Structure 1
Amino acid sequence: MLKKIIILSCLVLSTNLFAQNYNEQFTEICEKGKISESKDFLENWEKAEPNNPEMFVALFNYYLVQSKAKFDGPKFLGGTIIATDNDSISVSEVLKSVNKSDSLFILSQKYLSKGISINKDRLDMYIGRSTTLLEKAINTEFITSVKSIVKRNSVNSGKWLWSNNEPIKKTEDEFVGMIQSYINAMFQASNPDISEVLNISKLALETYPTNYILLSNIGVCMLELGKYQEAIPFFEKGLKSNPKDMILRLNLADAYVQLKQISKAKEYYNYVIENGDERFSGYAKDILKEIE
Structure 2
Amino acid sequence: MKKIFGLLLTAFIFKFAVAQDYQNDFNKFFQENDSINQLRTLTEWEKSNPKDPELFTSYFNYYFSKSKEEILVVAAGNPPKGEKYLSLSDSLGNYAGFIGSQINYDKSFLKKGLDKITEGINLYPNRLDMRFGKIYVLGQIKDWNSFTKEIVKTIDYSAVNNNDWTWTNDLKKKNGKDFFLSSLQDYQVQLYNTGNDDLLLNMREIANSILKHYPNHIESLSNLSVTYLLTGEYDKGIEPLLKAEKINPQDYIVLLNIAQGYKLKGDKKKAIEYYEKTLEFGDEKAKTYAKQQIDELKK
TM-score range, shorter chain: 0.7 to 0.9
Q: Does 1:28 align with 2:25?
A: yes
Say whether the 8 Å CA contact 1:235–1:248 is kept in structure 2: yes
Per-residue deviation, residues 273-292 of structure 1 (Å, max 9, x unmatched): 34322221222233334433
Gap runs ≥5 in structure 2: 1-12, 87-100
Aligned to 2:180: 175
Which of 225, 229, 235 is the aligned partner of 2:231? 225
Deviation at 1:23, TM superposition (A): 3.1
Aligned to 2:222: 216
Tell whether the 8 Å contact from 2:26 to 2:58 is kept in structure 1 after alignment.
Answer: no
AA aligned to 1:41 is T
**CA separation of 1:215/1:18 partners in 2, compared to 1, >3 Å: closer, same or farther?**
farther
- In the superposition, the TM-score normalised over structure 2's length comes to 0.77
1:44 is the counterpart of 2:41: no
Distance between the aligned counterparts of 2:177 and 2:165, measured in 1?
13
Q: Counterparts of 1:156 and 1:181 in 2: how far apart (Å)? A: 22
CA displacement 1:234-265 (0-9 Å, x = unmatched)? 11221222222212111111222233321111
Q: Find the aligned partners of 1:138 and 1:98 in 2 and give their Cα distance.
A: 13
CA gap 1:99/1:269 in 2 versus in 1, 3 angstroms? closer
Q: Assess if the C-alpha contact under 8 Å between 2:63 and 2:112 holds in 1.
A: yes
- In our comparison, the structure showing a higher alpha carbon Rg is 2
Alignment correspondent of 1:197: 203
Distance of 2:14 and 2:223 partners within structure 1:
40
State the partner residue of 1:89: none
What is the SS of the residue equivalent to 2:152? helix
Alignment partner, residue 54 of structure 1 = 54
Aligned counterparts, 1:1-292, within 5 A: 19-31=16-28, 33-34=31-32, 36=35, 37-68=37-68, 71-75=69-73, 77-78=79-80, 98=104, 100=106, 102-137=107-142, 139-192=144-197, 193-292=199-298
Structure 2 CA distance for aligned equivalents of residues 17 and 190 of structure 1: 52
Q: Aligned residue for 1:6? A: none
Distance 2:292 2:263 in 1: 14
Structure 1: gaps (5+ residues): 1-15, 84-93
Deviations 1:103-146 (CA, angstroms, capped at 9, x unpaired): 32332222111111221111010111112222232521211222
Please tell me whether the aligned partners of residues 53 and 115 of structure 1 are also in contact (alpha carbons under 8 angstroms).
yes
Separation in 2, partners of 1:284, 1:276: 9
Q: Deviations over 1:55-90 (max 9, x none)?
A: 10111111223234xx24414755xxx89xxxxxxx
Distance 1:243 1:111 in 2: 46
In structure 1, what is the Cα distance between the partners aligned to 2:188 and 2:146?
A: 14
